[in-house]
Amino acid sequence: MDRLVNTVRPYAWGSTTAIPELLGVAPSGTPQAEMWMGAHPGAPSRTGRGPLDELVAEDPVSELGRATVARFGPRLPFLFKVLAAGAPLSLQVHPDLDQARAGYAAEEAAGIPFDDPRRNYKDPHHKPELICALTPFHGLCGFRDPAEAADTMAALDVDSLKPYVDLLRAHPEEAALREVLTAILTADHAELAHTVTEAAHAAARLGGAHTAYARIAHHFPTDPGVLAAMLLNPVTLQPGEALYLGAGVPHAYIDGLGVEIMANSDNVLRCGLTPKHVDVPELLRVVRFEPGEPGILRPEASASGEEVYDTPIDEFRLSRYVRAADAAPTDLTAPTPQILLAVDGALRLRGAGTDDGLSLDQGESVFVPAGEKTELSGRGTVFRATVAA
């Protein structure tokens, strides 16, 4: 097993304190948004044997296991992160596998460079993801009932929002959501800015159910994404609760600390709350206009003490162990690669070549190659990221 040294990404929306507190280091004063654990070429974890992406490339079967390579190719199929949002992330969706393959092939054929802001598809993979809260975590997930969205907008008492309110109340659900989102994203931004500003002031004044939208508008005071956000369900996760985000589901994280696991892809289509490129026609092709309540996941405990977050995806599997000091050691040996992250306590790992054990304290992580003997002991909470069997 390999102790990981991970890159922390300083995106502007990151918290200045949450990740340093987890790692037990002094804040730098700059945003610390995401700590990446894995073999993504953009920021591979480092080990005593070298960068993890190079280790996988040199001997994928030894590192990933024969079954994982047969299913997903010679690449670690997931990326594991600690995510610390101090401000809202962009409102976005991810394509399904067929859409990603087709979009990537089309952009390759068109010769669009990877660093071109018009490029939507950086790879031919989908990007389902799971976020699990470590602190109270606020976000937006999926379309709400159009009638509820209409009521939210109507309560703001902004005259220029009334056409959207009427559309939401007059059409079938999916058609209503499509028509209003299209209208918001294709409107002249300069003309819409006054409406967004009025709506933001009203949301701040009303509070309550409008609080999430006022918080977003504080950071993006004239962005049309503020209005698009009102079509979505506000969600608050308590520590240990999670959200699974499949293809075509619009979402945004607002604030909080969590662990996130996703299929190893960079494919994102943005629809607001960002200065980056928004490809409206492609976005509308990918979005699934299906209203419904976001399903909050709670872990299901097994006899071994492993608490699993059940998701309908093969590229990743997330679970956790919450251990008491007197708990018997747990065998974590698996035929798939795994990354273990401690979020509190003082834990210990034993395995091949580590007779004295390897400490795993808060904020520390390790990579365990497929099939390597691994035993967990000690007190604390550890998250386990691996591939679905």
- Distance between CA atoms of residues 251 and 353, nearest Å: 44
Terminal C-alpha separation, the chain: 20
Strand partners, 360: 347
Which of 13-17, 159-163, 170-174, 219-223 is predicted least confidently? 170-174
Give the residue-averaged pLDDT of 307-314: 96
| Catalytic site residue from 215, 270, 323, 384 | 270
| Per-residue model confidence as pLDDT tens digits over 34-58 | 999 999 999 999 999 999 999 999 9
How crowded is residue 269: how many other Cβ atoms within 10 Å of its Cβ?
25
* Residue 181 banded pLDDT, cuts 50, 70, 90: very high
CB environment 84-110: b (16+ within 10 A), e (fewer): bbbbbbbbbbbbeeebbbebbeebeee
For residue 298, indicate whether it is catalytic: no
Question: Does 354 score more than 70 pLDDT?
Answer: no
Report d(CA 38, CA 81) in Å as an integer.
Answer: 8
Cβ–Cβ < 8 Å for 12, 88:
no
**Measured distance CA(174)–CA(180) in Å, rounded:** 10
Cβ–Cβ under 8 Å, residues 228 and 177: no
- How many Å apart are CA 144 and CA 148, to the nearest integer? 7
For the stretch 211-235, pLDDT in tens is: 999 999 999 999 999 999 999 999 9
Considering the chain, what is the average pLDDT of its residues? 95
388 has pLDDT over 60: yes
Q: Where are the alpha helices (DSSP H) in 73-126?
A: 97-109
pLDDT recorded at residue 351: 83
User: How much is the pLDDT for 353?
Assistant: 54
- The answer on pLDDT for 334 being more than 80 is yes
Q: Please give the structure tokens belonging to residue 57.
A: 């490339």
pLDDT tier at 277, thresholds 50, 70, 90: confident
Q: Over range 179-189, report the average pLDDT.
A: 95
Does 352 have pLDDT greater than 70?
A: no
Q: Provide the percentage of residues in the chain whose pLDDT is more than 90.
A: 93
Res 362: pLDDT: 97
* 60-78: pLDDT as tens digits: 999 999 999 999 999 999 9
Helix, strand, coil in percent for the chain, rounding step 5: 30, 30, 40
